[in-house]
Amino acid sequence: MMAFFAAACLALSAAVSAFAAEPATSPTGTTPPEEASAIEDRLRSERATRENSFVLTPHRPNYILPVTYNASVNRAPYGAEGDQLQSVEVKFQISFKADIASGLFGKNGDLYIAYTQLSMWQAYNSDYSSPFRETNYEPEAFLSFDTDVRALGLRNRLLLLGIAHQSNGQTEPLSRSWNRVYAEFVLDRGRFALAIKPWYRFRESAAEDDNPDIGRYMGPGEIRMFYEWKKYVLGLTVRNNFRIDDQKGAEQLEFSFPLTRRIKGYFQYFYGYGETLIDYIARTNRVGIGILLTDWL
């Protein structure tokens, strides 16, 4: 875990170098006003709708990639049927949350429940009955605290403390699941945002653990970085197990761009381990393009 925080500090330093240098003064000697916060803009939009019973508040991005290509399909878990899997499939994610209790600690501390579903669909594989190859279900609950702590030129806007369960809803031998507690620190400066999310996996008995070595591939947490420019958003997510002699992890690069007032185009590239639970032990190399309904920022 300490190695993760050390890497987080390096990421913070890099972020400061790239995006958070001290603002220059104008010829009159005054300091220009600070650029509006992308995180605060999102929080303001969420507050405007969270009391509306007919609105679902987005949690993670909601998107559909009608065409993705995986250059390294993981066929092993499916036995002989794995030979029928195609490299081209549909990938989509649904994610929302609800504020069920506000101001638990004075005027701060909101309790949320959330749900995220990620699916891989062999939609074009009609010879194999176009199955959903893998679906991951992730309910979670977390406390969200508004913060205003400055560190290394960034401002810590949010602190989240949560518990999450993730599984693929399968029976043996395809069953995969794990349970975690996590903390998430959400920082920003202007249109740049950084989220540092360490987690701890609850141990399970050997007889009940479908994936005892998942921590070796998923690591102790993840770091997400995003930059928004005129509704264009560039993002990078990184995980690493910090084992010098057995490096495992993943990187996801994403880019979104406006198409209409409500819909964005979306490009995503994933390389590494743990794109889905069934693939946590196999390295994935996937590229996809589609549409995005709700972004991180």
pLDDT confidence of residue 34: 67
CA dist 225 to 61, 80, 120, Å? 14, 40, 25
Distance CA 35, CA 149 (A): 17
Domains in the chain, ordered, with CATH?
2-18+55-294 (2.40.230.10)
- Mean pLDDT across the stretch 123-129? 96
Cis peptide before 173 (omega within 30 of 0): yes
The reply to whether 26 belongs to the active site is no
Q: Are 98 and 110 within 8 A, CB to CB?
A: no
- Residues 129, 167, 175, 205: which is the catalytic one? 167
At residue 31, does pLDDT exceed 90? no
Provide the percentage of residues in the chain whose pLDDT is more than 90.
81
Contact residues for 142 (Cβ-Cβ < 8 A; gap 6+):
111, 112, 114, 160, 161, 162, 163, 184
pLDDT confidence of residue 33: 59
- Residues 59, 165, 175, 205: which is the catalytic one? 165
- Mean pLDDT across the stretch 255-259? 98
pLDDT tens-digit readout, 42-87: 999 998 888 888 899 999 999 999 999 999 999 999 999 999 999 9
Distance CA 158, CA 115 (A): 20
- Give the pLDDT band (50/70/90) at residue 246: very high
At residue 5, does pLDDT exceed 70? no
The reply to whether 167 belongs to the active site is yes
Listed in order, strand segments (DSSP E) in the chain are 57-58, 62-70, 88-101, 110-121, 132-151, 154-167, 177-189, 192-201, 221-229, 232-240, 249-258, 264-273, 283-294
**What is the CB-side half-sphere exposure of residue 240 using CA atoms within 13 A?**
18
pLDDT confidence of residue 267: 98
